[in-house]
A and B are shown apart, each in its own frame.
Chain A
Amino acid sequence: MSRVTIPLTLAVCVLFMASLLIGPAGLGLRDSLTALWQGGDEPVAMVMRQIRLPRAILAMMIGASLGLAGAAMQGYLRNPLAEPGLIGVSGSAALGAVLAIQTGLAAAFTLGLPLAALAGALGGVVLVMGLAGPRGGALTLILAGIAISALAGALTSLVLNLSPNPFAANEIVFWMMGSLSDRSMVHVWLALPLMAIGWVLLGTLGRGLDALTLGEDAAGAMGISLSRMRRVLVIGTACVVGASTAVAGAIGFVGLVVPHVLRPLVGARPSRLLWASALGGAIMLLAADIAVRLILPSQDLKLGVLTAIVGAPVFLHLIFKTRKDGI
């Protein structure tokens, strides 16, 4: 328990409630909470339980997943630029999801969609970590990430353009930018199993990441197996990013910004940063999802637009810092 946990948890709760209470239907506070609690077939209950609740839950789950994955990757590679969106893991997960939808795999069996996205994410994360090498130097990591992002993005666009469905091509922007509009509890159940596995896997990395701050040799002397950590990280990241992307598209920058902002607050201990980043990610995505509903309620503004507006300056700041440090 660090001193940031309580304020972060409180912020998540407040934003979760706000997310439940904001929407085009403009329901009263009391009506909506009663309907949410009691359920039933009434229209207000349907709005609360089937439209707003899944949206808020998904924002929380996906934000937490992306924050956690970002913190774990940055800790393992000891590189503040590592982020699932930036290095192409989200993009390759989106490719897997799009392939599953267009080939009919997603319709064929329940978990087809998230598993295909998992396979895509796994491919992306294995490729990028293989290309970046064991130490994950900043330059090679970013170059590998750009290559994989570009390739995955191009293939996703190609698949959608080849689809016989006239709506598919317009959805390139959804898969690249992400959105939570009109999601249902079905999507929550679709994403939850894989995400839970990913959370557990990434959560076990804390001790190893702490040891790793002392250097690889010291960590080895403390009985930490680097190759085992690497496997857990790869599978855990692929699980959470795959499940997130399958239901909400590729949302970038959350895993970059959140650990960066929270790192000084947790005394730079990677194990604390993991859980703080999960909470921080949930805050960022809940806030972004509320903002898209307030700014352009009728336009389905994509989440990635907002996260990038916040995230890109942080990214630039990191680049300046890395340059100054001469890495």
Chain B
Amino acid sequence: MVGATVLIAAPPAVAEAPQRVVSINLCTDQLAMLLAGEGQLVSVSRIALDQRVSAMASEALHYVINAGRAEEVHVMRPDLVVAGVYTSRDTIAMLRRLGIEVVQFDIVKSLDQVRTRILEMGDALEQQEAARVLVARFDADLAALREEKGPLNDAPRAALYYANGYTSGENSLATDILHAAGLRNAPAEAGYDWGKLPLEILALIDPDLVITARRYPGGSRAEEVMDHPVVGALRGRGAALTDQDWVCGTPFVLRAIRDMVDARRSVDATKAEIGG
């Protein structure tokens, strides 16, 4: 009886939208900035300001910046914290102990998961309508981009080659970006998943297009491998760079796909020149 009374007396099961949201992860920062209502998002992480990895660095300037520490987040009195699954466990546990609701978002491994993540963020922020609109636009733009590509079997063979000789293989957002742009991921087809791709193997795979990562300031030996004469010779045929649009599963991956479509076109043009 008591329970029933409470049920009747309580407001409908629809939860109230969180009023003060803090994001402490680069990717949730961007999804939250895209979907949050006026004044709903209070703070984003420091990394959101870094143009090299953040696609929304200038937007991030409008928010309070946090370094992702439990103490400073608590002081902001948020009613919701959005974070990634790999955000420090201790921070998440501390926030939950302090009675703050934390929603964690998994990393994105495919274009399909970009849609999922947008909808999840919409649910978390109670902005389902905005999320649906964003997904619809994403789907339409993606479909338009996909229309332009030819069959994948005779597509140019691309290789992703990042600092320290790392690559991204099957089941990665990067591979989906390549496929959507009409490119094949050659190391993935040779059986190299996420991890180190030996330089010798890269040379033997002999890709049409080498995609390296944009540099950070201050040198490092890790990035020096992208200057190796072998990489240079391969890049001579076709080269492209990954940038901030590749980092997170947000609608900005469409820009990455557009860049790769351009890269594919220039490879096709070079091939046609040599062939003719």
Query: Which residue numbers of A lie inside 8 Å of B, CB to CB?
Result: 23-25, 41, 43-44, 46-47, 50-52, 101-102, 104, 106-107, 163-168, 170-171, 174, 182, 184-186, 297-298, 300
Number of interface residues of B (CB under 8 A): 26
- Contact yes or no, B216 A164, CB < 8 A: yes
- Asked if B219 contacts A24 (CB within 8 A), the reply is no
Chain A residues near B165: list those with CB within 8 A: 182
Cβ-closest chain A residue relative to B215: A165
B233-A182 in contact (CB<8A): no
Q: Find residues 178-221 in chain B having any chain A CB closer than 8 Å to their own CB.
A: 195-196, 198-201, 203-206, 216-221
Q: Is the CB of B76 closer than 8 A to any CB of chain A?
A: no
A107 contacts B229, C-beta separation under 8 Å: no
Q: Supply 9 further A-B pairs (C-beta < 8 A) apart from A50-B203, A167-B223, A298-B196.
A: A25-B200, A47-B200, A47-B203, A51-B203, A52-B200, A168-B219, A171-B222, A174-B221, A184-B230
Q: A171 — which chain B residues lie within 8 A by C-beta?
A: 220-222
Binding site for A on B (CB under 8 A): 163-165, 195-196, 198-201, 203-206, 216-223, 225, 228-230, 233
A106 with B219, Cβ < 8 A, contacts A24-B200, A43-B206 known:
yes
Contact B218 A168 (CB under 8 A): yes
Closest 3 CB pairs of A and B: A167-B222, A25-B200, A167-B220
Closest A residue to B234 by beta carbon equals: A46
How far apart are the CA atoms of A165 and B164 in the complex, in Å?
13
Asked whether, in the complex, the Cβ of A25 is within 8 Å of the Cβ of B201, the reply is yes
Interface SS, B side = helix
| Given known contacts A50-B230, A174-B221, A167 and B204 CB-to-CB distance under 8 angstroms | no
Query: Are B198 and A24 in touch, CB under 8 angstroms?
Result: yes
* Given known A50-B230, A51-B230, A184-B229, contact A102–B216 (CB-CB < 8 A): no
Report whether A104 and B229 are in contact in the complex, using a CB–CB cutoff of 8 Å: no
Partner of B218 from the list A102, A170, A184, A298 (CB cut-off 8 Å) is: A102
Do A166 and B216 form a contact, CB below 8 Å, given A24-B198, A24-B201, A298-B196? yes
How many Å lie between the Cα of A104 and that of B45 in the bound state? 30
Q: 26 pairs across A/B with beta carbons < 8 Å?
A: A24-B200, A25-B203, A43-B203, A43-B206, A47-B200, A47-B204, A50-B203, A50-B229, A50-B233, A51-B199, A51-B203, A51-B228, A51-B230, A101-B220, A101-B221, A164-B218, A167-B220, A167-B222, A168-B218, A174-B221, A182-B165, A182-B199, A182-B228, A186-B229, A298-B195, A298-B198
* CB atoms of B219 and A107 under 8 A apart: yes
